[in-house]
Amino acid sequence: MDLFEYQGKQYFARYGIPVSPGGTADTVDEAVAQADRAGYPVVIKAQVQVGGRGKAGGVKLATNADEARLHASNILGLDIKGHVVRRLWIERASDIAKEYYASFTLDRGAKAYLAMVSARGGVEIETVAEEDPDAIARLHIDPAVGLTEADARRLVTEAGIDREAVDGAIGILLNLYRCYVEGDADLVEINPLILTPDGRVHALDAKVTLDDNAAFRHPEWDDFRDIDEFDERERLARSKGLQYVGLDGYVGIIANGAGLAMSTCDVVNQVGGSPANFLDIGGGANAEVMANALEVISSDHKVRAIFINIFGGITRGEEVANGIVTALGRVDIKIPMVIRLDGTNAEEGREILARVESDTVISAPTMLDAARKAVALADPATPQGSF
C-alpha cells in the first residue's frame, strides 16, 4: 500500500523523524484556513501517488491568503498523469540550505535490506544513479543484525553529507530504519532530506510503501486507505478482501498467488490478448472466495472472457474444483470462461469440473492452452461451441 505524502509524514513522525507541520484540505476554504493556521509563507502540495507534481503545477508557494486561495483553486481537480487531485497538504515553507536523499528498501537478490544515501537530493534518484552512480552511498544490512550507529555514520560520510548535517542525518537514518522494520514497510524514502540555514535536518517529503502482508498486525492502517482512489472494480474487490488491480484489457484473470497471477497476465499478452485485471485470490480457492472473484470480474463490462488459473498446493485440487462449481451456482455468469487446474490432486479436480463443462465453461490442461482458448473466446468472431 502506497501512502500519500501527508500520510507518510504522519508515519515518520511516529518514529521520531522530524517533518514539517501542516494539515490537509479537501476544499479551497479549508486550504486557506490551514494556511492561515500554519503561518505564511506556506507550500500547497497536491496529494497524488505519482511523481512530477511540481512540474505539473501541483506544488505552489503562497505568501498570503489570496495566493493560497488562488493556488488551491488551481490545484484541486488538476489531472497529474491520470491522477486527479482531491486533497491538498499545506505546510509552513522551509528555508533550505542543502538537499539530501535517504531510503531503505529490500534487495531481494542480495537477500538483505538496502540503504541508500546521497548528497544530491531533490531530484529523481534514478537520474542520479544514471548520471553519477558514485554519488549514492549504498549499504546492505543483515536483517538479523540491523543498522548500527557506525553503519549510519559510514553512510553519511561516504555520501558526502555536509559536516553540519552529519549528526542530524545519522539520527534520522537510525529512526528511518526503525520505521522501515518496525513499521513493516517495503520502502521508506526521504527526498529531499533538508538542512536548514540554522542547522536543523528534517524530512521535507515522504514516500512510504507498506507491506500488505503485514496488515493483520496493523489495524490502524485502515485509516490510510483512501477508497476514492480506486475505480468501481477495485472498490468492490477491496470490500470483499481481494487483491485486485484493474487493467485496460478484456480477458478477466483469476489466479491463486501473486506470482501466478502475474504470469497469467504475461501469458495472455504472449498469445495476443489483453488482461482486464490482476486478481489474486490467495492461497485458497473455496466457494465464497471464488464467488466473490467471479462477481468482481463479471462487473467489468469490458471483460469478454474469464481465465481461471489455479495451482493446487496445500489446498487440494478436488477442493478447488468443488469451490469453483459451487461458485458457478451462486453467481450468474454469462461470460465464457476457461479453467486450468494443476497441482495436488489435479486429476480429481478436473473430473469434477468436467461435470459442469459446456460451451462457455471449458477446461484446459496447460496454462498456455488455456490462455489461447480464453483469448479466442474473447474474440466476438469466435462462435460458441468452437472448443
Instruction: Print the SS3 string covering 23-79.
Output: EEECCHHHHHHHHHHHCCCEEEEECCCCCCCCCCCCEEEECCHHHHHHHHHHHCCCE
CA–CA gap between residue 142 and residue 353 (Å, rounded): 47
Q: Is 189 a catalytic residue?
A: yes
Q: Give me the catalytic one of 5, 189, 318, 319.
A: 189
CA–CA gap between residue 47 and residue 59 (Å, rounded): 10
| Helix (H/G/I), strand (E/B), else coil: 343 | strand
Q: Give me the catalytic one of 100, 101, 113, 244.
A: 101
Residues 6+ apart with CB under 8 A from 246: 231, 233, 234, 276, 277, 300
In one-letter notation, the amino acid at residue 283 is G
Does residue 353 contact residue 381 with C-beta atoms inside 8 Å? Answer: no
The candidate with the shortest Cα–Cα distance to 49, out of 92, 99, 86, 104, is 86
Which residues are the active-site residues?
101, 189
